[in-house]
Amino acid sequence: MNPTLAPAAPDTPETLPVQPIGKVVAVTSGKGGVGKTFVSANLAAALAKRGLRVLVLDADLGLANLDVVLNLYPKLTLHDVFTGKATLDEAILPAPGGFSVLLAGSGMVEYSRLTPEVRGEFLRVVHSLVPRFDVIVLDTGAGISDVVLFAVSLASEVLMVATPEPTSLTDAYATIKVLVGQQQRDRIRLIVNQTTRAGSGVAITHQLQQVLDRFVVGSLGRPFTLSHLGDIPADPEVRQAVMKRQLLMQSLPGCPAATALTQIARTLAEKFASKPG
């Protein structure tokens, strides 16, 4: 990632290190099932409500379920774009929340490994999306697989979703450790989902930062900040919306979880407003 180091080995452009792209936000997590896709979709809807042109890209290539969350089953997907069967325009769909989506499609299982080809196709798609949207949300997989790390490396903002359970926090911590070490990140933003009391996200962020300072940041020789982006309170309405395959931001925009997401979108939109695309 260090731009001063010229690539030493001869290689195709597809395998060269990539720079984070200003408009790209990655939503990731240490462990699956913490509400990553729920956050991606509803955050996109909340950003769209603020007047931004938003696209959510299903970047969990092997285990994508954005289609399930949005209840969209298109004929043409990212898979068809990768294989040249569809153009980008054919595969981009309007989602219920006023934003656009590019769904992975079932054929994506074969892309669950990051080959130079997948990497190149992925880069090509993201770069062609950049001029057309204000924000591109990458809904990535969990953990530290090659595909996840690559998708995250494209993002200028990384949103780590965790629930307050010990396993989720441990995996979030481990993933942050890898991202900090491998991608020279100086900031990751934490969203704590399904909190049961006020202030727990702040306490959790503070605690993670302390452990990171002690075990990771000390050996880096540069600062790293885990910022608390927001808490999404445990809310029975969320479960209902998910079961009905509806976007919370649409069906119940006034419920506590939706209010929290609106606030998170506001904070995030400010970051993007203050930074050139």
Binding site for other proteins (CB under 8 A): 5, 7-9, 11, 15, 17, 30, 113, 115, 143-145, 163-166, 169-171, 173-175, 177-178, 182, 194, 196-197, 200, 203-204, 207-208, 210-211, 214-215, 234
For other proteins, give the closer residue by CB, 130 or 144.
Answer: 144
Beta bridge partners of 56: 101, 137
Shortest distance, CB of residue 213 to other proteins, whole angstroms?
A: 10
Axis crossing angle, helix 166-183 with helix 200-215, rounded to the nearest 10: 50
Q: Are strands 225-233 and 187-195 parallel, antiparallel or unpaired?
A: parallel
Shortest distance, CB of residue 200 to other proteins, whole angstroms?
A: 5
Say which residues have a Cβ less than 8 Å from residue 195's Cβ, sequence separation at least 6: 164, 201, 231, 232, 233, 234
For other proteins, give the closer residue by CB, 200 or 259.
Answer: 200
Shortest distance, CB of residue 217 to other proteins, whole angstroms?
A: 13
Shortest distance, CB of residue 110 to other proteins, whole angstroms?
A: 13
Shortest distance, CB of residue 33 to other proteins, whole angstroms?
A: 13
For other proteins, give the closer residue by CB, 98 or 164.
Answer: 164
Q: Which two tokens stand for residue 78?
A: 């990212």
The number of residues in the chain equals 277
For other proteins, give the closer residue by CB, 9 or 243.
Answer: 9
Query: What's the rounded Cα separation, in Å, for the pair 108 and 99?
Result: 22
For other proteins, give the closer residue by CB, 137 or 169.
Answer: 169
Shortest distance, CB of residue 211 to other proteins, whole angstroms?
A: 5
Axis crossing angle, helix 116-129 with helix 146-153, rounded to the nearest 10: 30
Say which residues have a Cβ less than 8 Å from residue 147's Cβ, sequence separation at least 6: 59, 61, 62, 111, 112, 113, 114, 118, 140, 141
Centroid of chain to Cα 92: 18
For other proteins, give the closer residue by CB, 216 or 242.
Answer: 216
Query: What's the rounded Cα separation, in Å, for the pair 126 and 151?
Result: 10
